[in-house]
């Protein structure tokens, strides 16, 4: 008669414990490579874009004024050029990177 799943699992864990093997490879043992970094960045920019579009859509539905009102509000803050350029980069980078990396992947 065969062994039960519980007995098989007990035997597996006993053997693993005796041989002192790790459960699985950990992130720290991998050597970072360009494809790995590009994949992580692609996923991150996808999450940022998804969150940004959702937040913008929710704001468009819930905020009482129209878009020109909020644009005038931002202009009235008289933000410095460095902050404005940083904000533009923070908006443009995820979109452009995710788009071009997606096209690269398809090609």
- Domain residue limits, the chain: 35-106
What pLDDT, in 10s, does the model give residues 1-28? 567 889 899 998 888 888 877 667 776 7
Answer yes or no: is 42 a known binding residue: no
Residues contacting 94, CB < 8 A, separation 6+: 45, 48, 49, 52
Asked whether the beta carbons of 95 and 46 are under 8 A apart, the reply is no
Say how far apart CA 37 and CA 35 lie, in whole Å: 5
pLDDT digit string, tens, across residues 76-89: 998 999 999 999 99
Domain 35-106 in this protein, CATH class: mainly alpha
pLDDT at 27: 67
Which tens digit of pLDDT belongs to each residue from 33-76? 999 999 999 999 999 999 999 999 999 899 999 989 998 998 89
């Amino acid at each position: 008669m065969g062994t039960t799943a519980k007995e098989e699992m007990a035997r597996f864990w006993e053997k693993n414990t005796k041989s002192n093997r790790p459960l699985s490879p950990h992130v720290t043992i991998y050597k970072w490579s360009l494809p790995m970094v590009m994949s992580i960045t692609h996923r991150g920019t996808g999450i940022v874009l998804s969150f940004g579009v959702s937040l913008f859509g929710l704001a468009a539905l819930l905020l009482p004024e129209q878009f020109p009102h909020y644009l005038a509000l931002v202009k009235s803050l008289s933000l410095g050029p460095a902050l404005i350029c940083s904000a533009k980069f923070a908006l443009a980078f995820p979109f452009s990177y995710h788009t071009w990396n997606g096209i690269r992947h398809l090609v």
